Structure 1
Amino acid sequence: MKNILIFFVLISASLFSQDIPDPLKPPRMVNDFVGLLSNKQNNYLERKLVAFNDTNSTQIAIVIVKTLNGYDISDYAQRLAQKWGIGRKEYENGAVIIVKPKTANEKGEIDIDVGYGLEPIIPDITAKRIIENEMIPHFRQNDYFGGLDAATNIIIELAAGHFSAEEYQKRTKGGSPVGWLVPFIVLIIIISMINRKRGGTYSSRGSSLPFWLAMGMMSGMGSRHGGSFGNFSSGSGGFGGGGSFGGFGGGSFGGGGASGSW
């Protein structure tokens, strides 16, 4: 009887696992199982997230799925994040953004899940604010790329320690977004990280960019979202071509984060 019970438990676990997709091969930060993003948009986000992983070790994954297979999206996100092992095992510093696009018959759903190590940095209320301020306004206009770009910019700044969750809450009080300054600051942070790492004095905070370079990038800013992350997508502005992603690091998740719909 005991063996039969164990058998059914194992079968059930296997079936549940099949409901959650495996990451793409070769591994990527951006896993678009729907084909929602264009190749240019996909590669732009991939380069940005890989660059931040290379310099900060924080892994931010984007997963776009057609169906949640009957799961509540928060449960789905935690199961997927745990199965994939997003984040470094020793730091538990992973984050995943799950998007199920809106269809004619179903509402669109979003979830941001963060690993144990990021929970104090991106608490639930902050994850909720990112969804409501940075993502849903874009998604309602069918601008999925703009929402994902804006959300990842904020997560990068929070994880890099440029401002705290409390400061973000104050900046976005009343529903107004942080604005064009966010992607500009993110650009400075990542370029500074890369330069310090190459020079052997890597630090996750601060910027040693000359003032004239910072002003030059500011004057070259284009749109308010989408391509507003400097010249990242073209490989200029200090990023080069971007490295390849070697895979997730075995991080764990405990349910921290938030979800939303539109």
Structure 2
Amino acid sequence: MIIRQLLSLIFITVFSISGWAQGDFPEKPNPPRLVNDFSETLSEQQERQLENKLLAYNDSTSSQVSIVLINSVGPYAISDYAFQLGDKWGIGRKDKDNGILILAAMKDREVFIATGYGMEGAIPDALAKRIVEQLIVPNFRSGDYYTGLDQATDMIFMLASGEYQAAEQLSENGRPSGTFPFILIFIVGFIILSLIKNRKDNNNHMGGKHGGVDFFTTMMLASMLGGNRGRFGDFSSGKGGFGGGGGFGGFGGGSFGGGGAGGSW
């Protein structure tokens, strides 16, 4: 009797997990979209603004940032779910693996930023963690989901654009641009100084009493420097000029290797 009950319990558990494995990863959207809210958290206008913003960035840089909101990740760790979903959908270009997935499980109250292989240098785990803790979590905690996603993607654009602009300049000229390393060093130095300063100063825009980088100051600085001038502002909040044509053409077959960070609210 006990053995039969134990076998039944094992069968139910295995069946439940296999059901999640087969059925709880959403299918790749058709028609393709960069913002997919399966939890119905965002308004139609908010979805449209984020979609336009991410589409403009994709058209201008070839990097793909996708936002997915679901109800729950079930028995998975949210990090594993994000990596598997990013691989299944192929977010990013196959030859660059330059995809980023922001996954939020709304009923679980968990969020994770997964970075493709090609983006791990531009957005290391420590910076992904900062974005989650300083931008997404505080806004999600107060119920302002759109603002959290909007500010997080702004910061991702700023961090990611430097690496790919540098790569383009290197391939065209055969050597690094003379000004870019100084611009990058300046930005990194500014962020480090801000982190040190804001440990003592609780009144900052980005982190509140928990400290962090002054988000708005950093964004203004980044938009004024080097090759980002006149480009970064076009992506912000889904407004401004959207270069590059029509709708999203689809994901490009990118892969994910375990980079990223998450948190809960």
- Same fold? TM cut 0.5: yes
Match of 1:140 in 2: 141
Match of 1:150 in 2: 151
1:129–1:169 Cα contact (<8 Å) kept: no
Match of 2:215 in 1: 179
Q: 3-state DSSP class of the match of 1:258?
A: strand
Match of 2:116 in 1: 115
Shift of 1:188: 7.3
How does 1:1-262 map onto structure 2 within 5 Å?
16-102=21-107, 107-161=108-162, 166-167=188-189, 168=191, 170-173=193-196, 174=199, 175-182=211-218, 206-207=227-228, 209=230, 229=236, 232-233=238-239, 237-239=240-242, 243-262=246-265
2:59–2:243 Cα contact (<8 Å) kept: no
Match of 2:174 in 1: none
Deviations along 1:176-235, one digit per CA (max 9) or x if unpaired, are 34332455567779xxxxxxxxxxxxxxx61565xxxx9xx8xxxxxxxxxx936x44xx
Shift of 1:25: 1.6
Q: 3-state DSSP class of the match of 1:153?
A: helix
Deviations along 1:72-130, one digit per CA (max 9) or x if unpaired, are 1000000000100000000110000000124xxxx510100000000111111111111
Partners of 2:222 and 2:46 lie apart in 1 by 18
Partners of 1:208 and 1:123 lie apart in 2 by 24
Partners of 2:194 and 2:28 lie apart in 1 by 35
Partners of 1:45 and 1:38 lie apart in 2 by 11
Partners of 1:109 and 1:64 lie apart in 2 by 10
Partners of 1:122 and 1:141 lie apart in 2 by 26
Judging changes above 3 Å, is the alpha-carbon distance between structure 1 residues 171 and 72 closer, same or farther for their aligned structure 2 residues? same
Off by >3 Å, runs of 4+ in structure 1? 12-15, 162-174, 181-189
Partners of 1:137 and 1:81 lie apart in 2 by 25
% identity of equivalent residues: 45
Structure 1 gaps of 5+ residues are: 1-11, 190-204, 218-227
Q: 3-state DSSP class of the match of 1:180?
A: helix
Shift of 1:247: 0.5
Which structure is higher in helix share?
Answer: 2
Judging changes above 3 Å, is the alpha-carbon distance between structure 1 residues 158 and 46 closer, same or farther for their aligned structure 2 residues? same
- Count of residues in Structure 1 that have an aligned counterpart in Structure 2: 212
Partners of 2:193 and 2:22 lie apart in 1 by 40
Partners of 1:254 and 1:41 lie apart in 2 by 30
Partners of 2:222 and 2:27 lie apart in 1 by 30
1:30–1:45 Cα contact (<8 Å) kept: yes
Report which of the two structures shows the higher radius of gyration computed on alpha carbons.
2
Judging changes above 3 Å, is the alpha-carbon distance between structure 1 residues 185 and 241 closer, same or farther for their aligned structure 2 residues? farther
Q: 3-state DSSP class of the match of 2:137?
A: helix
Deviations along 1:213-260, one digit per CA (max 9) or x if unpaired, are x9xx8xxxxxxxxxx936x44xxx333796310000000111100111
